Amino acid sequence: MPRPTKWAGAPRSRATAASRATRSCGRPSQHDYAARGCQIEADEIFISDGSKCDCGNIQEIFATDLRLAIPDPVYPVYVDTNVMAGRTGANVDGRYTGITYLDSTPANGYVPAIPSVATDLIYLCFPNNPTGAVATKAQLAAWIAYAKKNQAVILFDSAYEAYVRDPQIPRSIYELEGARDVAIEFRSFSKTAGFTGTRCAYLVVPKTVVAYDAAGNAHPVHALWSRRHSTKFNGVAYPIQKSAAAIFTDELKSYQGLDADYQHAVINHAVEYVNGNVHTNTIENFWALLKRGLHGTYVSVEPFHLFRYLDEQAFRYNNRKGTDAMRFTTVMQQVVGKRITYKELIGQTEEAAQS
């Protein structure tokens, strides 16, 4: 069963975290959630330096002997941080014995089925990275029921929710009844406003979510995370938080409606290209470099490798102020233990065939 770990270090006031959430997250609480019928209070929202960090750090407040459920394929940080915490057991034929893998395949539409065994900590990611699959309200309701039955906690990564366009598809798990009792949600500004390098996100931990110890006693997760977050995290710079509340675009009609969720400013390119801090030069610069690379450097780009070209360009852009030596060293440090087979290279795998 998931058991909260002991607190370490001198505590900082819970009111500090609550005050920070109120100042910085009034907008997410009001627009991202209230507008969709979700009851989320400002002090249930924790500003952070990225949803990747939150996904990796959240596991620290849970016991090391709990049972994990993790989709496959999915964002690697879910597995890797639990491996480093000593929670996953041995690796046998590429899979860890301590993880219940939730297989996402073409047969199930890349939305994994509810496992037949009980688990304690469930990772879900919708829209999914890397498949792009989304879950319906009925599918999420089934996960909520499963979590309640097994006294489990759902870690719901909705960093890609901005890409959902179907009004019938939930953008937050809190749109479902009962989710406040079992789910923690991760949100990111990197997909909506290009904050990948600037680093700003937020985590939602309702006060009604509880984890159970071995004796069956319930422990509020909100208090545990508030203690961990305020002890180990120094906060996001206020100018970055203010920037996270604003989005600048041109007059393309697709951007209409953003002001319901964000502070949205528009630049009219028929009149000017810069108005104070309002411009789209940064994103246009990035896309120009990307398109020139695809058309002028690589020329022949296979669809099943497209995400790799995007990752490369994002890496170059985010590290543009470094030296060639620094970029080379950084890349070499990330290739240890990774390999690509010849079949993957030429697109002869089942996954490539589906792309």
pLDDT in tens, 232-243: 998 888 788 777
The CA-based dihedral angle spanning residues 107, 163, 78, 222, taken in that order and rounded to the nearest 10 degrees: -120
292: CB partners within 8 A, 6+ apart: none
H or E stretch covering 333 = helix 324-333
Query: Domain 14-239 is in which class?
Result: alpha beta
pLDDT tier for residue 355 given thresholds of 50, 70 and 90? low
Higher-scoring residue by pLDDT: 19, 181: 181
In terms of phi and psi (left: phi > 0; alpha: psi -120 to 50; beta: otherwise), the region of 50 is: left
The CA-based dihedral angle spanning residues 91, 96, 98, 101, taken in that order and rounded to the nearest 10 degrees: -170
pLDDT in tens, 267-311: 888 888 888 878 888 888 888 888 888 888 888 888 878 888 888
Residue 137, pLDDT > 90, answer yes
Cβ count within 10 A of residue 274: 10
Full DSSP string of 96-156 = ETTEEEEE--GGGTT-PPPPSS--SEEEEESS-TTT-----HHHHHHHHHHHHHTT-EEEE
State residue 1's pLDDT score. 38
Residue 3, pLDDT > 90, answer no
pLDDT in tens, 35-73: 788 989 889 999 999 899 999 999 999 999 999 999 999
Q: Amino acid identity of 198?
A: T
Residue 217, pLDDT > 80, answer yes
Does this model's pTM top 0.85? My answer is no
User: How many angstroms separate the Cα of 327 from the Cα of each of 198, 321, 336?
Assistant: 18, 10, 16
Residues of the chain with CATH 3.40.640.10: 14-239
